[in-house]
Structure formats: structure tokens, C-alpha cells
Chain A
Amino acid sequence: MIPKFIISKLPEEEQKILNEREWDVVIVGGGPAGYTAAIYCSRYKLKTLVITTEIGGLLNQINLIDDYPGLPEINGIELGKKFKEHAEKFGVKTLLRTVVRIQKENEKFKIITSNGEEIYSKSVIIATGSKRKKLDVPGENLPGISYCAECDGYLFKDKVVGVVGGGDSAFHDALVLAQHAKEVYIIHRKDEFKAQPMYIEEIKKNPKVKFILNKVVVEIKGNGKVEEVVLKDVNSGEISTLKLDGLFIAIGLAPVSEIVKDLNVNLDKNGNIIVDQCSKTNIPGLAAAGDVTNQICGFKQIITSAAQGAVAALSIFTYLKTGKW
């Protein structure tokens, strides 16, 4: 099947978006939370703009989604495009830009893009999502370290690779990599996994995947590229090494919340934006939804992000109607 178009707006169409004096709501982020918020906002008849660097957010890194109700099997990129199309059907506009910061001027929000453009809005929903956490060990910048199996798996055909982590992302990556690589090692600091049992079952059946448990990566070595990882046993402290051609890091997610730093938004110790159950932050007119927030029970899923997006839209609609937050 031919992948759908994703990009191009004519400069004139883009200029029209940039010429808008003020939006009712600007949603920053184009993943499940952002576009669900956009669908609901536009149905509340709010003038809605989504600003995002890419369509789909982290969905893009998922080969097969099989836990979203009604869609038993769908590719992540495809689902991201469907969210966008759905929102645009109701008149939502998308601007492909990176937002660098958001400020409050009088009662309005000023959103500044990487291109220096300033966009004004009565309210904002932050749905910037999350990115893969770094290991924070020496050698992590060597070529051959990756945070996207979907993108880079092809480059390790018949090679030996490692995946660090024990959650859904690590198991997903291992499955993707097993399609290309000769051997895949899952390196995990415990001997049990957070990943869904379905993933674990599937991985255990795959002869290419092997487990290295109770070990952490303390260093990555190589001459110009990854060649070896140094492992430490968490119980005995024993040091060992493993020869690898590539290492994929899947040890969890870190929220992308830097853009709100000018706004005095309350963040938790991990940088998640603190929201209440109505997706409101401590700043009137500023809601947040999805992976960037401290909700819902830390269960960062497509469906929970979408749900929060819908709730955020309601909070913004009520705020714009009543002035109450």
C-alpha cells in the first residue's frame, strides 16, 4: 500500500496560518494526545492550530500497534496520519514547526517557533510527549547507539545488536531487530520484566533473541563506532564484556517539557508537567496531555494519551467560555 502524503503546504497556505491574529487554542505536539485534543477542540468550534515537528510523535517508532480498541493491527505511522486526517476533517490546521518556547503576554500566550515566528493564542495545550531516556554512560555518543529500532534496524542486517531495557519498548525493539539482525541480546538490570506478558511470550519463542539478566551497561566502547559494551552484574559486581555492532536504548521515557520553562508551570521531579484529573496545569488557560504529564498512573499508552487530550479540550473549552480555571 502506498504510504500517505504527510507534508507540504504551499507557502501561501502556511502564511495564512501565520497571519492569523489569534487562535482560540494552540496545541503543541502532533501525537495521540495532541490530535485527539484537536479533534475535540474543533468540535467545540474553537479555532484550533496544531504545531508539531512531526506527525505522530512516538507512534512513528511503533511497528505494530495491537492494543488500540477497534484497530486490532495498525502501523504506528499510519495511525499518526489517521489522527491528523481526522482532526483536519473538522477544520484543524497543522503547522510543521518546532516550538522553542512559550511565554505569557497579558492574558495571551505567545508561541515562538524555530523560525522565529510568533503565534498568539488565548489558550494552549501542551502535548509534546516524551523521548527515550539516555543511559548516561561513557561512549553513549558513539555511532551505532540508537533510540529507534524502526528507523535503524535495517542498518544492522546480519549483525549482532543489544537492546537495553525490560519494558514494552525494549521487547518491541528486540522483535523489530530480530527481523534484520543475526543475534539480539536483551540486556536488563533485573531478572523479571515490566513488558506485557504477550510480548515476553513472543520474544521467548524467537531463536535469535537471548537474555542477559541482572546486568547493567556501564560503558560502551569502540573505535569510531560501537564494538563492545562493558557490563556489571548488579548482584556480584562482576565486570564482563559483550561484543556488539549496535546498541538500542529502551530504558523508559523522559518528558519533553523544556518549552514551558518560562511559564512557571509546576513540574514533578522527573520533569513531567503536573496536571489535575482535568488535564489543567497551575497556569490558567494552559492544559497538558499525554506522555508529558504526570498522569495517568504513569501508564503512558496511546489510549491514555488520547483520553487526556479529550479531557484537556473540555477544560480549555470551559475556560474560554466561562473564564474560570
Chain B
Amino acid sequence: MAIFSEEDRKTLKDIFSENLKNIVEIELFLDYNGNKETSEIAKEIADEIMKLTDKIKFDIKDVSDPNVLEELKNRNLVFDKYGNRKGPLFVFKKYPGIIYLGLPAGEEFPIFLEDIIHTSKEEFHISGDVAKKIAKINQPIDIFVFVTPTCPYCPYMTHSSHQFAMINKNIRSIMIEATEFPELSDKFKVYGVPHIEVLSQDGSVLGGFEGMVDTSIFASKLEKILENINKQK
């Protein structure tokens, strides 16, 4: 069965032709050993989207290729150290802090489209005070945003954290589809979503919280987590 219905394809085509300005390039790493089914779907999504517009390019790679795996490791893009599932992994080329580990499925799909549009137009969707707060972060961090496809609150958190990553190159924001990465989710005790973990980019956990908050509260929580860690140093 096709991934998008005829109606979906038309909707997407309209969205792309109305909203895309610059070409958006996305790297897609597929892991047929770790997550076969969703890797197949991810490839299908990428292929379908590329048929609908010439302004989105997916650079599709297979992690079973040792060179690709080496590249992932070198770029510190192996996030699931517990279940050893490496994809599907989407990384935006121009804004490499915008990352999806697992399918941007269900309620997350509109955010994936928004990320594409915002990066294409180079538009930032966070207002002054919050943007200033985020811009100040000067240590490299990863924000894990665990989600499920039917969670209505999760897209708000993915959106905010991807905006943070767009504003500040020190931040990588990784939406993680919790059910595709059960070992990683277990490790972080994800029994409710949205679930946020803040890590240093060497993998040590700095803090986290569960539940949806608005963008300004999210930024303040992040600020507080980093403040506490820096005080302890």
C-alpha cells in the first residue's frame, strides 16, 4: 500500500509549492537490521516526497555499509547505545542539530514538514526573549525528546526543541520515537511522553522532565538544568 493517499500527495504538493524557498537536504540513515519495517517506511516517505518536489533532497545511506557506520560513529550520531538500533535517522544538513531518530509519524509528521519549511525559508519561530535565552547556551548539549505517534502534546516539544537547535549550533535536538527504540526508552525510564532528557554530547545525563510545557517554560527549564550542572562543577 502506498504511504500517502492520492489526497495526501496533493496536499503535500501544494504545501511544498507554496512554502519552499531554498533546497532542503536531509540525510537519511537506514538500519534494516535494527528497525527493518520503519527503515523501509522511512525510505518510502523519502522517495515519495522527492517525487513531489525538487526542493527536498534525501541523501539515503544504509548503516550496514561499514563506511556509513564509521561516519555515524565519527559524527557522534549513534544515539541508541543500548539496543544498538541506529535508524531510521534523519539529520538536516544545513541545521544538523535537527534530528529525528525513528519515523516522524502520526502527530509528529506536521512538525517534520514545519522543520523542512522553516529551514527552507531560514525562518526562526521563537520570539525574542526565549531566543536570547537559548542563544546564550555555550556548551554542546543533546536534547532527547521521546514521543509516540498518537501523543498530542509531543509535537509542541519537538517543535520547540528543534527551534532551539536552529537558533544555537551547540544544541542537537533529537526526536526519538519511543516505541521504535525500546531499549533506549527503557534505559531512560520512558513510561510517559513527552519525555525530555538533556545530555552533554559525551552522553552524560544532565537532567530531564516529563510532560508538555510551552516554549518559554521549556527554555527556562533548560537554563535551570544547565545552571545546576555548572554550579556543581
Residues of A within 8 A of B (CB): 1-11, 14-15, 18, 53-54, 56, 60-61, 63, 76-77, 96-98, 113-116, 143-146, 148, 150-155, 157, 224-226, 246
B22-30, B92-100, B152-160: which lies at the interface: B152-160
Q: B214: which A residues are within 8 A, CB to CB?
A: 53, 96-98, 114-115
Given known A97-B214, A97-B216, contact A155–B185 (CB-CB < 8 A)? yes
Residue in contact with A7 in the complex, picked from B11, B114, B212, B217, CB distance below 8 Å: B114
Is B178 touching A151 in the complex (CB atoms < 8 A)?
A: no
Given known A1-B5, A4-B110, contact A155–B123 (CB-CB < 8 A)? no
Q: B192: which A residues are within 8 A, CB to CB?
A: 143-146, 148, 151-152, 155
Q: How far is the CA of A155 from the CA of B148 in the complex (A)?
A: 8
Is A1 touching B178 in the complex (CB atoms < 8 A)?
A: no
Q: A155: which B residues are within 8 A, CB to CB?
A: 148, 178-179, 185, 190-193
CB of B127 within 8 Å of the partner chain: yes
Given known A11-B125, A152-B192, A154-B179, contact A2–B11 (CB-CB < 8 A)? yes
Q: Is the interface of A mostly helix, strand, loop or mixed?
A: loop
Is A3 touching B107 in the complex (CB atoms < 8 A)?
A: yes
Q: How far is the CA of A115 from the CA of B12 in the complex (A)?
A: 34
A77 nearest in chain B by CB position: B152
Taking the closest CB of chain B, its distance from the CB of A145, in whole angstroms, is 8
**15 pairs across A/B with beta carbons < 8 Å?**
A5-B114, A6-B155, A8-B118, A15-B128, A76-B152, A96-B156, A98-B213, A113-B216, A115-B127, A116-B129, A144-B191, A150-B150, A150-B152, A153-B150, A155-B190
CB of B78 within 8 Å of the partner chain: no
Residues of B within 8 A of A (CB): 4-5, 7-8, 11-12, 106-107, 109-111, 113-114, 118, 123-131, 148-156, 159, 178-179, 185, 189-194, 212-217
Residue in contact with A54 in the complex, picked from B4, B125, B153, CB distance below 8 Å: B153
Is B110 touching A5 in the complex (CB atoms < 8 A)?
A: yes
Q: B118: which A residues are within 8 A, CB to CB?
A: 8
Q: A54: which B residues are within 8 A, CB to CB?
A: 152-153, 156, 212
Given known A6-B110, A10-B125, A115-B216, contact A151–B153 (CB-CB < 8 A)? yes
Q: A15: which B residues are within 8 A, CB to CB?
A: 127-128
Q: How far is the CA of A14 from the CA of B127 in the complex (A)?
A: 8
Taking the closest CB of chain B, its distance from the CB of A106, in whole angstroms, is 27
Given known A2-B110, A114-B216, A115-B130, contact A154–B125 (CB-CB < 8 A)? no
- Most chain B Cβ neighbours within 10 Å, of A10, A63, A152, A226: A152
Taking the closest CB of chain A, its distance from the CB of B18, in whole angstroms, is 12
Given known A152-B193, A226-B191, contact A7–B8 (CB-CB < 8 A)? no
